[in-house]
Amino acid sequence: MRVIIRAVLTASVAAILAGSSIAPASAFTRLTEGQSHLRTDMTSTSNPAGTPAFAAASKLRIATFNTSLNREYAGALASDLSTPQNAQGRAVAEIVQRSAPDILLVNEFDYDAKGESAGYFRTNYLAVGQNGQDGIDYPYVYAAPSNTGVPSGADLDRDGTVGGPADALGYGDFEGQYGMVLYSRYPILTGQVRTLQNFLWADMPDSRLPTDFYSPLKRKVLRLPSKSQWDVPVQVGDAVIHVIAAHPTPPVFDGPEKRNQRRNHDEIRLINDYVTGGKAAKYIYDDAGKRGGLAKGEKFVVLGDLNSDPARGDSDPVAITSLLGNKLLRDVKPASPSVTGDPIPGQPVTENVNTADFGRGALGMLRVDYVLPSRNLLPEAAGVFWPGPGSPGNLLVSGWPSASSDHRLVWVDVKAP
């Protein structure tokens, strides 16, 4: 299940794998302040067709979207987004505008230290109305280094040579490829952000690290998060909501040792242990050396392409099933009014909760993208942006590859805390 393979509009982009990493901790890009296009007493909701209507700001919409805005070399994404004409960028932005989230995690968005790509996408695409939609201003943006493309100095894939994307601590052709960025209409508490980019896989108790495959020396440098794991606190009124963001590695493209499937499992377990906190998170340390996970009673939402379907696909379902069953959070099973795509021959379709279409001859449709609010946040609505034939926005997601991404935007509305 290569949830991140896809051809983009302007180029044929090589597929992804996600590994672990070396690199500095987090970096925050605070872009120009400004009022949102939405009234301060309003926020958006969505009708069954997936297009937004407006309701009182008692609701908060939180979304995740693997946009496939990745490119083959460093700087290419910033170049593509530096003008407002990129076709894929416009399609992705229109989907965001039709869904109108207040907080949005974007996966597969190449990271650059200057924040150029994130800034260009904000000003040239999200803030500019696409195809009759209203632009959205996100005054607060968080982006940080990714483990992808960071050289390990070791032959991690054991092909006899050192170097290349498969020997990076996170699969990638350059540092930051397939990264993440968080956009918010609400203030991000940057001084309280925690990142787990440098957490060693070997430091997880009872991990599934294949010790027969990785030598002791390799285990000393091999990180667990394939990009990173973030805890980004967002101030919403008097409350703080912790955005737990991640993008675990695809559980494929390995051998009989199942190193990528095992990493995917343990990356999801790391999320689960972190939000559980207490004894379950005692082993966890962040990039600043602070130990443990979330404190008891904190409000949070898990966001991201987790590369794991609890019912189908190539991942080990144990970790995702455990996360979805965690009593501290809610799985409201966002669904779309209509799902198109190619189901796996001989396997039942997971109805309309799927969030990705990997195309004819691949694995068809899977549920791999998640918005999981904590129990102390009350969900009021949820959905997957996947309009059917003839519905507004269908051309943004139809066909394979589609004009936007092989993933769909997933959103949940919660009662404003």
Full pLDDT tens readout for the chain, 417 residues? 333 333 233 333 233 233 322 222 333 333 322 222 222 222 222 333 343 433 336 899 999 999 999 999 999 999 999 999 999 999 999 999 999 999 999 999 999 999 999 999 999 999 999 999 999 999 999 999 999 999 999 999 999 999 999 999 999 999 999 999 999 999 999 999 999 999 999 999 999 999 999 999 999 999 999 999 999 999 999 999 999 999 999 999 999 999 999 999 999 999 999 999 999 999 999 999 999 999 999 999 999 999 999 998 899 999 999 999 999 999 999 999 865 544 445 545 545 899 999 885 446 789 999 999 999 999 999 999 999 889 999 999 998 899 999 999 999 999 999
Q: Alpha carbon 75 to chain centroid distance?
A: 21
Q: Is residue 10 part of a domain?
A: no
Q: Is residue 20 part of a domain?
A: no
Tokens 């910033």: give the residue: 78
Q: Is residue 398 part of a domain?
A: yes
Q: Is residue 237 part of a domain?
A: yes
List, for residues 315-338, the tens digit of each pLDDT value: 999 999 999 999 999 999 999 986
Q: Is residue 171 part of a domain?
A: yes
Q: Is residue 256 part of a domain?
A: yes
The count of structural domains within the chain is: 1
- The whole-model pTM stands at 0.86
Q: Can you give the CATH number for the domain in which 406 is found? A: 3.60.10.10
Q: Is residue 71 part of a domain?
A: yes
Q: Is residue 7 part of a domain?
A: no
List, for residues 153-177, the tens digit of each pLDDT value: 999 999 999 999 999 999 999 999 9
Query: Among 225, 275, 197, which Cα is nearest to 26's?
Result: 197
Query: Among 73, 65, 114, 74, which Cα is nearest to 93's?
Result: 65
Q: Residue 386 belongs to what domain range?
A: 42-415
